[in-house]
Amino acid sequence: MPGPIQSIERAAAILRLLASGARKMGVGELATALGLPKGTVHGILRTLQHVGFVEQSQDTGKYQLGAALFHIGSSYLDANELRTRALNWSDSLAARSKESVRIGTLHEGQVLVVHHVFRPDNSSQVLEVGALLPAHASALGRVLLANDPLGQPAGAELAGFTPYTCTDPDQLRQLLAETKSRGWAAEVEEMVEGEVSVAAPIRDRRGVTVGAIGISGPIERLCDPDRAPRTELVSYVREAARAISRDLGAIPW
């Protein structure tokens, strides 16, 4: 039976729409978005509701994601070897660098954040685990793209977020080559003005890059006056990445 099961594919498409839509959606809305009859969509929704993957508002009849899906999804993190192995090292990186730490993997051309340690001051920060970051404008993404076995940037326009964002494919290609050879990446005010990030690749026992770890924070603390990342911070990040890679069984470099 080579060929995906349609009802499941459709159910997945519905869930993806509900996830991206941010707010509740109605049957008709989903139906037109997918080009399917209302009845069909309703049947799928009923099943998804039955298994707890979606919930329905009692007043308006609209649908939204369900708690069961959230719980199941979150247990992805437990099974994720990268994240499990990285927990201790990311804490210590946060302590040494005094900045917030994030770990990410490449997922459909973007960076999926699988772990996040807050900056060790008491400022209030929002948890970004589960969020998707643009690959071309974040240090994590640059590292992952540069070491990705498949071809890189893909098609898609390179979105600009600040005046500094690198939106030229050729320039990006050169940055990635540089990243690959020197073993780390940085991004200075390319995603958020005043914010800088630095990252390095994490490899597994086969030597392939399975993720990246990096720090981010205000430019005043992360960079020298010449807008170059401070060398000791780069060292911290690279050492953390190397330590995690070793834990994952990578050949000691």
Partner DNA sequence: GATGGGTGTTCGGCAATGTCGAACGCGGGT
Partner DNA sequence: ACCCGCGTTCGACATTGCCGAACACCCATC
Say whether residue 131 binds a copy of itself (CB under 8 A): yes
Q: Is 22 in the site for DNA (CB under 7 A)?
A: no
Residue 252 lies near a copy of itself (rule: CB under 8 A): no
Stretch that binds a copy of itself, among 114-122, 153-161, 194-202, 238-246 (CB under 8 A): 114-122
Pick the closer one to DNA by CB: 17 or 132: 17
Task: Report what 218 binds from a copy of itself, DNA, none; CB cut-off 5-8 Å by kind.
Answer: none
- Select the span of 54-62, 76-84, 104-112, 122-130 touching DNA (CB under 7 A): 54-62
Binding-site residue total for a copy of itself (CB under 8 A)?
61
One residue of 16, 19, 46, 87 binding DNA per CB under 7 A? 46
The reply to whether 76 sits near a copy of itself by the rule CB under 8 A is yes
Instruction: Confirm or reject binding of residue 224 to a copy of itself (CB under 8 A).
Output: no
Do the Cβ atoms of 101 and 125 come closer than 8 Å?
no
Residue closer to DNA by CB (options 4, 163) is 4
Footprint of a copy of itself (CB under 8 A):
1, 4-5, 7-9, 11-13, 15-16, 18-20, 22-24, 39, 43-44, 46-48, 50-53, 64-79, 87, 91, 95, 105, 107-108, 112, 114, 118, 120, 122, 124, 126-127, 129-132
